[in-house]
Amino acid sequence: MRVDIISIFPEYFAPLDVSLMGKARERGILDIHLHQLRDWTHDVHKTVDDTPYGGGPGMVMKPEVWGEAVDAVIEDGRAASGGDALPRLIVPTPSGRPFTQEVALEYAEEPWLLFAPARYEGIDSRVVAEYGERLRTDEVSIGDYVLAGGEAAVLVMVEAVGRLLPGVLGNARSVADDSFAPGDMANLLEGPVYTKPPVWRGHEVPEVLLSGHHGRIARWRRDEALRRTLDRRPELVARLDRDGLDKHDRRV
């Protein structure tokens, strides 16, 4: 997967050089390209923003600069692949559709993602309108809070998507057991996890996990996932369709 990120703070993405994402890049599973948005300005101050039409606080990012940057990055990517592929354009914004595990799985199937993190009050809306005619373009939110810029949101999304790519996680099963993973865990939070020692500062590991009885362990884990979800995210349990809850579940 090719990932292009255009930002006025490309150095923000240094964390993508380490750990799982760094190893995925070394192994060629992830091909990340960072771009400085200001490289597409033409004034001495390298201006990327201006005052909002209609008044109001803050500044809005200029469409011309973003347009030149996105066009150039698409051309770069096409030249590198020797084809006429187009990326999926992803714009993080608090006003976007929720970025969920389901969306991460959808993005993990894409060969090329282009992230456009904004600063200030956001990017002139005509940029999404312009590219929405040619590319699959998504405005997505990673949560109901406002950051100082979209860069942190891009880090979150690249990691959530990157870990799903084949070969990135050592144990493919751990993806299937993720919170929110499709199948049995859909709409359920992951339950508690334990490792050695069996007793730590007087805290014992639940006995069932030491029993070696796989059926009982699976049942206990589902019960704990359901219990935790009921306690912390009751609205998710409501999403489980009637078939999603068996008669044992209803006893939890």
Ligand X SMILES: Nc1nc2cc(Br)ccc2s1
118 touches ligand X (CB under 6 A): yes
Applying CB under 6 A, which of residues 93, 101, 187, 229 lies at the interface with ligand X?
Answer: 93
Confirm whether 94 is a catalytic residue: yes
Q: Is 70 helix (H, G, I), strand (E, B) or coil?
A: helix
Stretch near ligand X under the rule CB under 6 A, chosen from 81-89, 144-152, 188-196, 234-242: 144-152
Pick the binder of ligand X from 35, 119, 221, 222 (CB under 6 A). Answer: 119
Asked if 149 touches ligand X (CB under 6 A), the answer is: yes
Active site (annotated) includes residue 233? no
Binding status of residue 146 toward ligand X by CB under 6 A:
yes
Interface with ligand X, residue 186, by CB under 6 A: no
d(CA 166, CA 143): 27
Point out which span in 31-39, 48-56, 136-144, 208-216 binds ligand X (CB under 6 A): 136-144
Tokens of 218: 């699976």
Q: What three-state secondary structure class fits 99?
A: coil
- Whether a cis peptide bond, with omega within 30° of 0, leads into 182 is no
H helices present in 57-121, as ranges: 63-81, 101-107
Alpha-carbon span 78 to 85, nearest angstrom: 6
- Cα four-point dihedral sign 5, 9, 10, 16: negative
Binding segment (CB under 6 A) for ligand X, from list 35-43, 92-100, 203-211, 223-231:
92-100
Q: At 122, is the secondary structure helix, strand, or coil? A: coil
The yes or no reply on residue 52 touching ligand X (CB under 6 A) is no
If one asks whether residue 62 binds ligand X (CB under 6 A), the answer comes out as no
What are the Cα distances from residue 172, in Å, to 78, 164, 165, 166, 211?
Answer: 31, 9, 10, 8, 24
Out of 34, 103, 105, 147, the residue judged to bind ligand X by CB under 6 A: 147
Minimum CB separation from ligand X for residue 117, in Å?
A: 6
Residues that bind ligand X (CB under 6 A): 92-94, 118-119, 141-143, 145-147, 149-150, 153
